[in-house]
Amino acid sequence: MELLVEHSQDTAVEKQPFVRAIEVWVPNEDGSHLELEDGIYGGLGDFEKVARETRFAFGEGLPGRAWAEAAPIILKDLQGSYFMRGEAAMAAGLTCGVALPVLAGRVLKGVVVFFCGGDEEHVGALEIWRAAGRSPEMGLVEGYFGTAEVFEWVARRIHFMKGIGLPGLTWESANPVVFETLSAPRFLRWEKAAEVGITRGVGIPVRIDADGAWVMTFLSALHTPIAVRFEVWVPNAKGTLSFASGYCERHPDHAAAMANVTAGIGDGAIARAFRSGVPTIATNTALEAPGIAASMLAAGLGSLVAIPVFRGTGLSAVVAWYL
């Protein structure tokens, strides 16, 4: 995972990316534990070593807790909580963990875990929104906001009806939603977002059933983007996957350039994630579908995480997160 570089008049300042590491945990063969499928750790080699020696039972640690609750979790205490790798996280400078379970109905396909660090210049947000039961609105369960304290204050006091704002639109459609820009009237918090420099947003439905709705939103700032590129891919009538929406921080016309790009069911991480329903990490650009590989090379991107999105038990889309 590369460093972000912000250029001033005569110096270049290196910043840590908003998300420092990403892991994919999957059930083992007998379904008794979660094991590490793959991870992107950047320079956090010692933390990676601990991860590869760890596994989680149902309800154990951050991945196991997301499995047990069948819901996303944001854990902002990696030292005095149920988090099992606290010493390694402290040594790596990680301060927050976010677990996103991938569920086919109530069947766990995998857990994607994102780790954030304590860089004082981080701006952005990872949020969990929930509507309990048949509630007509959803509120914030928890969020990680970096230094965007005013934006956090607003988030903790606002509620969204179905179809309103990024959480509400994601809830209504039961599909991923991408906002290339955060502007009125679609994004209700646009004024506060603009004040702190948050510019883009992605909503992912995690679970929508009789118990309620859970939605995760990822809000990205220009200088500390959560991901360099986000894309949503959906199945088409030809049996392949089509680009549906997305943006790239390095190519303003990315959506137009990808409009006619498809991925065959056997091509690359996005197609594998759709075929298997399991979140997939890829670090070899050459193995991706030709249009995707060319676009990654042009943007200097070396890795991606493909996250399947289910509507009930049916797989409806894949969200691609590029680093």
Distance, in Å, from the CA atom of 199 to the CA atom of 179, rounded to the nearest integer, reads: 9
Domains of the chain from N-terminus onward: 4-117 (3.30.450.40), 123-221 (3.30.450.40), 229-322 (3.30.450.40)
**pLDDT of 4 above 50:** no
Does the structure show a pLDDT above 60 at 174?
yes
How does pLDDT run across 103-142, given as a tens digit for each residue? Answer: 999 999 999 999 998 656 678 899 999 999 999 999 999 9
Please give the residue that has the higher pLDDT: either 46 or 120: 46
- Is residue 233 predicted with pLDDT exceeding 50? yes
Q: For residue 221, name the pLDDT band (cuts at 50, 70, 90).
A: confident
Q: Tell whether the model's pLDDT for residue 8 goes beyond 80.
A: no
State the Cα angle at 262 between 256 and 267, rounded to 5°.
Answer: 135
Q: Is pLDDT above 60 for 6?
A: no
Q: What is the mean pLDDT of the chain?
A: 91
Predicted confidence at residue 11, as pLDDT, reads 39
pLDDT for position 7: 38
Report yes or no: 56 and 73 within 8 Å, Cβ to Cβ: no
**Section 147-155 average pLDDT:** 87
- The identity of residue 272, as a single letter, is R
CB 79 within 8 A of CB 93: no
pLDDT score, position 120: 66
1 CB contacts (<8 Å, ≥6 apart)? 17, 19, 20, 21, 22, 40, 41, 42, 43, 303, 323
Q: Quick one: pLDDT at residue 54?
A: 98
CB 178 within 8 A of CB 194: no
**Could you please report the per-residue DSSP string of 139-159?**
EEEEEEEET-HHHHHHHTT-E
Evaluate if pTM is beyond 0.85: yes
Taking only the tens place, the pLDDT of each residue in 259-288 is 999 998 677 999 999 999 999 999 999 899
- Per-residue confidence (pLDDT) for residue 297, from 0 to 100: 95
Please identify which residue in the block is written with the tokens 């179905």.
Answer: 162
